[in-house]
Amino acid sequence: MTRMLQVPRSRGAVSGLLLVLLGLWGALIPLVGPYFHYAYTPDSAWALTAGRVWLEIVPGAATFLGGVILLASASRPLAMFGAELAAVAGAWFALGTLIIPLWPAARTLDPGSPAGTTTALRQLEHLGFYTGLGVVIVFVAALALGRLTVVGIRDARLAERGAPVAEPEPVAAGTTTRPISTTGTTAQGTTTTADATTADATTADTTTGRATGTGRPGSLHTFGRWLVARR
């Protein structure tokens, strides 16, 4: 049972790598995006605000950590924890800007507004910073969880290879053990029956020979004496 909790590291390699890259994007894009005119206000690089820290950098770091755990862990429960951590961070990316206005204590966490000059660019900024990024992270994490919850043939084979070999039961001193073989028993039984049949046939022939006198060395001499007495 313990062996079934192990999983090949290749099982979550691709998903873990994608989550690492997505986490780096989510945590760094608000700081370096203004260099490429892709940003939320304030439109200045490496400017830290409470909204950027709690709505982008923290969930990005959580996604990065979940991806590293999923990428490096050979334990099924630990790898699943990494995928779940990334899924929660992705959900916060997608829903954080909607939940913050409903939470009085967090109303000061201003996410800002898209700094794009066109409608298409502003929509792309919203997708790349929050909603679209969160949906992609949740999808990759859910895919990894689905793969980890299934016990495949390869997992069963690895568990069988690593299972301890059962020790033979102790045998009392002076006791001889032989393997039980159905084929051998049948063959021995057949040989015994054939030998018994041959012995019975030999006994019957011997008895008949004694009764008739056939095969005895003195039978011809006795018959000659009987003929002389008749004369």
Which residues 6+ apart lie within 8 Å of 30 measured at CB? 39, 40, 52, 56, 57, 129
142 phi and psi, to 5 degrees?
-65, -35
Q: Where are the domains of the chain?
A: 3-162
What is the rounded CA–CA span in Å between residue 19 and residue 26? 10
pLDDT band at 193, cuts 50/70/90? very low
Q: How confident is the model at residue 54 (pLDDT cuts 50, 70, 90)?
A: very high
Range with lowest mean pLDDT among 55-59, 160-164, 168-172: 168-172
Beta bridge mates, 6: 75
CA quadruple 196, 199, 205, 211: dihedral, nearest 10: -100
- Give the number of other Cβ atoms within 10 Å of residue 156's Cβ: 12
Rounded to two decimals, what is the model's pTM?
Answer: 0.66
Residue 210 CB neighbour total at 10 angstroms: 11
143, 16 contact by CB (below 8 A): no
CA 136 → CA 79, 118, 132, 180, distances in Å?
19, 24, 6, 62
**Res 221: pLDDT:** 60
Quickly state the pLDDT bin for 168 (edges 50, 70, 90): very low
How much is the pLDDT for 110? 86
Nearest to 72 by CA among 8, 5, 153: 8
Other C-beta atoms closer than 10 Å to the C-beta of 26 total 30
- Let me know the angle formed at the C-alpha of 123 by 105 and 56, rounded to the nearest 5 degrees: 40
What size, in residues, is the chain?
231
Q: What is the pLDDT of residues 61-107, one digit of tens each?
A: 999 999 999 999 889 999 999 999 999 999 999 999 988 888 877 77
**pLDDT value at position 189?**
42
